Structure 1
Amino acid sequence: MDRRSLIKNAGIAGVLAAGAAPAVHAQAAIRWRLAASFPKSLDTIFGSAETFSRTLKELSGGKFECSVHAAGELMPPFGVVDAIQNDTIQMALTAPYYFTGKDSIFAFGCAVPFGLTARQMDAWMEHGNGRKLMDEFYAKYNIVSMSAGNTTTQMGGWYRKEIKSAKDLQGLKMRLGGGLFGEAMAKLGVVAQNMPAGEVYQALEKGTLDATEFVGPYDDEKLGFNKVAPFYYYPGWWEGGAELEFFINKKAFDALSAENKAMVRAAGAVAARDMTAKYDAKNPIALKRLVAAKTQLKPFPKDVMDAGFKASMEVFGEHEAKSPEFKKIHQDMRAFQRDQLLWDRFSEYRYSSYMTTVKV
C-alpha cells in the first residue's frame, strides 16, 4: 500500500500504528529567529549570520529557516543573552565579552588581553578544552555555542591625539567593546566607555570621546573613524584574535533531531570560515586606502605594551582570586597558549618574519 492510500484508509491513528509518523514529521518546517549585536552595514560580522541562514536553508531544502535581525530590530544590541535565556529567540550572533557585566568568564569566549590569535583560538575551542569549558559555563544562561568567525588580530584603535607613552593614556575617554581589557585600561588611567559601534562617530566628532577601538581597517573604514580621529595605532593587544559566537538557545537546540543539529553545526562552520577569510582578504586593501587618505599609522610604544601587559596580568590575578571557575578556564587557556607560542617560533613566526623582508 502506498503512503497516500495508507493515510486515506487508516487515518492518523493508523499512520502512527504503522510507523509512518517519522516520515510525516520530517516534513515539518522549522522557523528560528537570530538576533545580532551588530548593524547590517558590517558585512563581515553581520554577514556571518546571513551566511549561516542561507546555508542552513540550502542544506535543509528550505525546511529549516532562520530569519536574521540586525541590532535594534528585535532588541537592543546587548539584549541578546537575556533574550536567549528567556526563550525569546533561538539564536544570537554576538561578541561574548559584551556580557562581562554578568560574569567576567564571558570574555574567554571572545578575547582577553594578550590572549590567543585566531588560529590558536580555533584550536583551543575545537581541539582543546575551550568549547567544553565555555559551554559548561554558558549552560547557566540556556546557551550552547558555536564559532561565528574571528576578526583575526585587531588594531589598537583611533585616537584624536598622538600616544607617545603610557602617560598619554591618563584620563583618555575611550570606547572599548567590553571585556577584561576595559579593566586593564582603567589601571592605565583610561576612562572606558562601552557603546554600540553606531554611536561612536558622533561621540568622537563632538569630543565626548577621545579614542575608540573597534576591529580593523575594513570595518573601521566603513564607520568613518579616520575622519574624526587621525592616529591609528597597532596592535590591539587586548584582542589577539576576537572570536564572534553564535549563541544557541539550549532548549531549542536539544529539541532538534540529530539531522537538524548536524545541519546547524555545518552551517555555522561555513559561516565562521567565511568571516575569517573575508577579514584577511579585505583588511590589507582597506588599510592601504586609509593610509592614502592621510591616516597616521603608528605602532604602540613599547612602554604602552609593557604597561598593558602588567595591568592585564593584575586583572587576571584579581579575578582568579575571586572565582575558581575563572581560574580554571584562564589557566587552561594559558597552558594551551604556551604550547602554541612554542610551535609558532618554529613555524609561522619565522616564516612570516622572513617574508616581510623580501620582495614578492
Structure 2
Amino acid sequence: MQRRSFLKKAGLGAVAGTAAIGAPVFAQSNPKISWKMTSTYGPSLPPLFSTAQMFCNFISEATDGNFSIRLYPGGEIVPGFEVMEAVGNRTVECGQTASYYYYGKDPSFCFDTAVPFGLNARQMYAWMYEGDGMQLMRELFAERNIVNFPLGNTGTQMGGWYRKEINSVADLQGIKMRTAGFAGEVLSRMGVVPQQIPPGDIYPSLEKGTLDAVEFVGPVDDEKLGFQKVAKYYYAPGWWEGGAQVSLYVNDAAYNELPKAYQTLIDMASRAAGSKMVGDYDAHNPDALRRLIASGAVLRTFPRDVMDAAFKTSNELFKEFGEKDARFKKIHDSYMAFRDSSMPWYRVAEGAYNNYLAAALASQRG
C-alpha cells in the first residue's frame, strides 16, 4: 500500500490541525523514532500476526520510514503471555495481545477482549468507540502504564475440539481444557479443569493427552494448528467469545513523547489494520470449516442444557465479582447494558434476514 493512499483512506489528510498535509510534508516535519513491538502470536497464526505486521507497515509507509516499529513474535523478546508487563515497564514500546490473558491480574481486563455471552464483533466496536468502552478501558490500563487501542476482532469463535462427544453437562466433568480468561472460571464451575497454555504449546499438549479439549479461535487458525488430527469433535458456538477483540498496548511514557501527528497515526493505523483482521476471518473461515469437515472433523452444537448452565453460571460469577470489585461492576454494567440495548436490533434486522436466507438457500438446494 502506498503511503499517500493510506493517508487518504485513514483520514490523515488533516493531521495535526492542518487543512491537507501531503505525505512528504508529514514525513519531513516529524522526527525519526524507532520502536520495538512484541506479540503474543507468531507467523503460524496469519490473521492475528499479519494484522500486527500491517499496523507496523502503515506506520512506516505513512511517515517515509521516519517512525518505524520492529515486530517480534511471541517468545523472541518475552513469552507470549508477558506482553502486558513488557509494555508496562517499557521493555518494548508496544505490543499485540488479547487482554483476557491477564485475567489473573484483574478480571476486568477480560472486558477488553470478550466475556461469556458478551458483545459480538460489531457491538464491541460500537461500545468501544461510541459507548463508554474506550474511556473505561483507558482508565483501567492507565494503572499499568499502558495506552490501549483495539486492533481487530476474530468475530464469534468456535467452542473448541473435544476427544469425546458432549451430550450433557455431565460429560464436561473432569475434562482438562485449554481456555483463557473469564471462560476458564465459568467452565471450572461446570466441572472442567481449565488450562491456560500459549498457542505454540497447545497441539503437543493435546497430542500427548495432557489436554482433553482445546478452544482457540476458529476454523482458519484451528486448521493451521492441526487440532483436527488429535480431537474429533468440533463444537459451536464459543459462547465465551461472541466477538474477541485483540488489542494494541502502547507504553504511556513512550506514547506521550510522540508528536501529536504520530499519536493520531497510531489510532488510525490500528483501526485500519484491525478492520483487515475482521475481513480475513470472515473471508476464510467458511472454506477452512469445509476442509476441516472433509478431513474428518465432526461438527456439533452444544446441547441446550450446556448452554443454559453456562449462561446461568456466567451471570452468577458476574454478580459475585461485581459485589467484590466496584470497578468490575461499573465496567460490567456498561458493557452488558450496551449488549441488552443493541441485541433486539440485531434480532429484528440481521437475525431475521440471516435466518430466512439460510432456510431459503437450504430449500433451494433441496
Query: Quick check: TM above 0.5?
Result: yes
The AA in structure 2 aligned to 1:265 is D
Map 1:19-38 to 2 at 5 A.
Answer: 26-38=29-41
CA distance in 1, matches of 2:320, 2:260: 42
Q: Which residue of 2 aligns with 1:76?
A: 79
Q: Which residue of 2 aligns with 1:10?
A: none
Map 1:1-360 to 2 at 5 A.
Answer: 26-176=29-179, 178-359=180-361
Extract structure 1 runs of 4+ deviating beyond 4 A.
none
CA distance in 2, matches of 1:168, 1:104: 27
The AA in structure 1 aligned to 2:161 is W
Secondary structure of 2:319's counterpart equals: helix
Secondary structure of 1:183's counterpart equals: helix
CA distance in 1, matches of 2:337, 2:278: 25
Does the Cα contact within 8 Å between 1:170 and 1:189 map onto a contact in 2?
A: yes
Secondary structure of 1:239's counterpart equals: coil
Secondary structure of 2:191's counterpart equals: coil
Q: Is there any run of 5+ residues in structure 2 with no aligned partner, and where? A: 1-25
Does the Cα contact within 8 Å between 1:154 and 1:241 map onto a contact in 2?
A: yes
CA distance in 1, matches of 2:103, 2:297: 32
350-359 or 234-243: which moved more? Answer: 350-359
Give the aligned CA root-mean-square deviation in angstroms.
1.5
Q: How much identity, in percent, do the aligned residues show?
A: 47
Deviation at 1:28, TM superposition (A): 2.6
Deviation at 1:290, TM superposition (A): 0.5
Secondary structure of 1:357's counterpart equals: helix
The AA in structure 1 aligned to 2:318 is F
Deviation at 1:84, TM superposition (A): 1.3
CA distance in 1, matches of 2:330, 2:27: 47
Count of aligned positions: 338
* Residues 163-212 of structure 1: per-residue CA shift (max 9 Å, x gap): 01110000000000x21111100000000000011111111111111000
Q: Is there any run of 5+ residues in structure 1 with no aligned partner, and where? A: 1-22
CA distance in 1, matches of 2:283, 2:55: 20
Does the Cα contact within 8 Å between 2:27 and 2:62 map onto a contact in 1?
A: no
Secondary structure of 1:45's counterpart equals: helix
Does the Cα contact within 8 Å between 1:33 and 1:69 map onto a contact in 2?
A: yes
Secondary structure of 1:141's counterpart equals: coil
CA distance in 2, matches of 1:345, 1:210: 35
Q: Which residue of 2 aligns with 1:18?
A: none
Does the Cα contact within 8 Å between 1:163 and 1:169 map onto a contact in 2?
A: yes
Secondary structure of 2:359's counterpart equals: coil
What TM-score results when the alignment is normalised by the length of structure 2?
0.90
Q: Give the 3 Å change call, closer, same or farther, for CA 28–356 of structure 1 in structure 2.
A: same
CA distance in 2, matches of 1:224, 1:199: 12
CA distance in 2, matches of 1:67, 1:106: 26
* Residues 290-340 of structure 1: per-residue CA shift (max 9 Å, x gap): 011110000000001001111111111110011000000000111111111
Does the Cα contact within 8 Å between 1:180 and 1:315 map onto a contact in 2?
A: no
CA distance in 2, matches of 1:162, 1:24: 58
Secondary structure of 2:355's counterpart equals: helix
CA distance in 2, matches of 1:259, 1:82: 27
334-343 or 230-239: which moved more? Answer: 334-343
CA distance in 1, matches of 2:30, 2:88: 28
The AA in structure 2 aligned to 1:258 is K
CA distance in 2, matches of 1:107, 1:54: 28
Q: Which residue of 1 aligns with 2:21?
A: none
Deviation at 1:24, TM superposition (A): 11
153-162 or 38-47: which moved more? Answer: 38-47
Secondary structure of 1:164's counterpart equals: coil
Secondary structure of 1:241's counterpart equals: coil
Secondary structure of 1:62's counterpart equals: coil
The AA in structure 2 aligned to 1:297 is L
What TM-score results when the alignment is normalised by the length of structure 1?
0.92
The AA in structure 2 aligned to 1:282 is H
